[in-house]
């Protein structure tokens, strides 16, 4: 018996049958796309009132068609580029091109022509852009450099890594003739992210062996020939596919830095569907070694996926954008002509939390510049059971900055309404009975988002409530949130807890109410801003 157990225990390192070689012919079975089905072609663009009503005013969304992952995020010559996974023909995933927008501040985006097309070699799946300043690729004219895209061409049978160069500052990319530059004969090998690793003087690629739940590391000196270095994983969440890996060195508040490996997993999130997990560790140019066995999640809700970090940032800022969506319902959202939006750009740092653990903290980058008008709302103190409210300007994106301390309760009382519980609730509501709440439970030090009482979209996976822990034994909380049409981004605890959620109220949310339930609360900070519209799209504003 003992011997049998001992023999059985070690188990194979990887599944005995390579799953990616034997799957049915779908490149991405975890989110099948209607547009990939035989017979499906384009879809007439139908515009509805919902398209304008749910259209964000400061978040990027495509004018029409379907958008998912951010791609090729790079800064060059004063311009931030945002490429994205784009089906220009229909509000469904499929026929993937690279859409393109540019900005000087990552908030006001200007549409550009499609930068990469679907070709007979396949769809243009997720990838990155790098600046080949010194023409290490040898692909530019002598003495010239430029932008290069490395990305996945996907067919049902194969996913391999392609290289395309741009000779017009990123407006368009041209595949080089001898593609693919990296092909391992797999149909589940995708989403390369490349950066120049200064200490070893080489380009490094992280790329997902999706169904094997592994991230592979490759090196190159010319971006065209790639040598395998190592693999990482399976680690952390298992899920179905590992996608969109990113690796970046992030400063620690107070000094020092660590490398952070982001891996998007879909489906398989604890909150359902898509999620991005991260590991903090070291990287020596060939191996990523996590500091511990802990995984972090970039979000406590479920609508931030496929995070990508900006390349070539001035001052080495660590900035990311994620797709504000989830594969569980993104093709069924109640807009008709467009689907998909991006998160705000987020500045990332590492910070020690109250218990001393090193964690990712995120904050919206440059948002202060959009504060257009203060919405007057003064409230310093709420007695137990009391509330204060204000009418909201309609159609505009709003930012709320709030910190409060809930009164101490007698620890000998029972839990419940008349006991130790004290909650501080932020309500965005309307007189048809719809409400969105963000609440703090001071007894347990936890925060929730509740979108269940909004009536514009119901679907089994479009779950209502999400929660996160803040600091144990701390009755104080701080929050910064942005509400913009169908999007909510909550940055709590100095950005250590971030919740991103799509929202579909059936009617406009007309008031903001603050409530203290169970215990009184003192409000330390309360600022409400209307934010300047940056996106020239038809919206409620």
Residues forming contacts to ligand FRU in the complex (CB under 6 A) are 28, 68-69, 85, 96, 125-126, 152, 190-191, 243-244, 306
**Closer CB to ligand FRU, 243 or 299, in the complex:** 243
Catalytic residue among 69, 175, 191, 489: 69
Residue 31 CB, shortest distance to ligand FRU, in Å, is 6
Q: Which is nearer to ligand FRU, 96 or 367 (CB)?
A: 96
Contact 276, 242 (CB under 8 A): no
Q: Of 243, 399, 434, 441, which is the active-site residue?
A: 243
Q: Does 69 participate in catalysis according to the annotation?
A: yes
Q: Which residues of 389-420 are buried (b: 16+ CB within 10 A; e: fewer)?
A: eeebeebbbbbbebbbbbbebeeeeeeeeebb
DSSP state of 473: T
Minimum CB separation of residue 244 from ligand FRU in Å reads 6
For residue 82, what are the contacts with CB-CB under 8 A and spacing of at least 6? Answer: 60, 70, 72, 73, 100, 101, 102, 103, 106, 109, 321, 342
Residue with Cβ nearer ligand FRU (166 or 274): 274
Question: How far is 457 from 486, CA to CA, in rounded Å?
Answer: 11
175 carries an active-site annotation: no
Shortest CB 235 distance to ligand FRU, Å: 18
Residues constituting the chain: 541
To ligand FRU, the closest distance from the beta carbon of 152 in angstroms equals 6
Q: What is the longest distance spanned by two Cα atoms in the chain? A: 78
Which residues neighbour 94 within 8 Å (Cβ) at sequence distance 6 or greater? 33, 34, 35, 36, 40, 66, 87, 123
Transcribe 290-358 into DSSP letters.
ESSS--EES-SSS--EEEEEPBS-GGG--EEEEES--TTTTTS-S-SSEE--BPPPEEEEEEE-TTS-E
Residue 283: which of 191, 196, 345, 357 has the closest Cα?
196
Residue closer to ligand FRU by CB (options 20, 243) is 243
The counts of H helices and E strands in the chain are 2, 35
CB of 492 to ligand FRU, least distance (A): 26
Measured from the CB atom, the residue of 241 and 434 that comes closer to ligand FRU is: 241
Angle at the Cα of 448 (from 447 to 454), degrees rounded to 5?
Answer: 155
Q: How far is the CB of 87 from ligand FRU (least distance, A)?
A: 9
| Closer residue to ligand FRU, CB minimum distance, 306 or 528 | 306
Residues serving a catalytic function are 69, 243
């Amino acid at each position: 018996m003992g011997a049998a157990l001992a023999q059985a225990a070690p188990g194979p390192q990887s599944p005995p049958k390579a799953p990616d070689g034997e799957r049915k012919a779908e490149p991405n079975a975890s989110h099948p796309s209607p547009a990939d089905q035989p017979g499906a072609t384009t879809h007439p663009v139908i515009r509805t009132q919902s398209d304008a009503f749910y259209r964000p005013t400061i978040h990027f969304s495509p004018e029409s068609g379907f958008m998912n992952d951010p791609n090729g995020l790079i800064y060059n010559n004063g311009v931030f580029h945002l490429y994205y996974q784009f089906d220009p023909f229909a509000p469904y995933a499929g026929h993937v091109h690279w859409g393109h927008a540019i900005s000087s501040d990552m908030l006001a985006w200007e549409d550009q022509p499609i930068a990469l097309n679907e070709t007979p070699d396949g769809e243009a799946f997720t990838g990155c852009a790098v600046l080949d300043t010194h023409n290490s690729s040898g692909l530019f004219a002598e003495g010239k450099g430029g932008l290069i895209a490395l990305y996945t061409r996907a067919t049902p049978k194969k996913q391999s890594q392609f290289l395309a160069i741009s000779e017009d500052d990123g407006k368009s990319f041209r595949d080089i003739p001898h593609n693919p530059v990296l092909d391992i004969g797999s149909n589940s090998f995708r989403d390369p992210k490349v950066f120049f690793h200064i200490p070893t003087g080489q380009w490094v690629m992280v790329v997902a062996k999706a169904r094997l739940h592994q991230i592979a590391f490759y090196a190159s000196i010319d971006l065209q020939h790639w040598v395998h270095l190592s693999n990482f994983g399976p680690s952390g969440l298992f899920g179905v596919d590992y996608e969109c890996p990113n690796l970046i060195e992030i400063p620690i508040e107070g000094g020092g830095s660590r490398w952070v490996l982001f891996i998007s997993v879909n489906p398989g999130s604890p909150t359902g569907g898509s999620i991005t997990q991260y590991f903090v560790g070291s990287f020596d140019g060939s191996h990523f070694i996590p500091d511990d066995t802990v995984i972090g999640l970039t979000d406590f809700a479920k609508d931030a996926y496929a995070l990508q970090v900006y390349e070539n940032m001035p001052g080495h800022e660590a900035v990311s954008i994620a797709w504000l969506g989830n594969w569980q319902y993104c093709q069924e959202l109640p807009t008709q002509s467009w689907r998909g939006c991006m998160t705000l750009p987020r500045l990332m740092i590492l910070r020690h939390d109250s218990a001393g653990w090193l964690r990712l903290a995120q904050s919206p980058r440059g948002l202060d510049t959009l504060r257009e008008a203060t919405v007057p709302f003064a409230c310093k103190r709420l007695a137990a059971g009391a509330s204060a409210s204000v009418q909201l300007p309609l159609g505009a994106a709003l930012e709320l900055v709030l910190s409060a301390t809930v009164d101490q309760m007698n620890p000998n009382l029972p839990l419940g309404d008349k006991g130790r519980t004290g909650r501080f609730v932020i309500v965005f509501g309307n007189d048809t009975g719809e409400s969105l709440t963000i609440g703090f439970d001071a007894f347990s030090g936890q925060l929730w988002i509740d979108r269940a009482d909004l009536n514009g979209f119901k679907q089994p996976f479009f779950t209502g409530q999400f929660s996160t822990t803040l600091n144990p034994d701390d009755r104080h909380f701080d929050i910064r949130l942005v509400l913009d049409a169908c999007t909510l981004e909550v940055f709590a605890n100095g950005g250590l807890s971030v919740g991103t959620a799509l929202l579909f109220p059936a009617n406009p949310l007309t008031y903001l109410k603050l409530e203290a339930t169970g215990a009184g609360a003192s409000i330390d900070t309360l600022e409400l801003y209307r934010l300047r519209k940056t996106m020239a799209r038809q919206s409620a504003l």
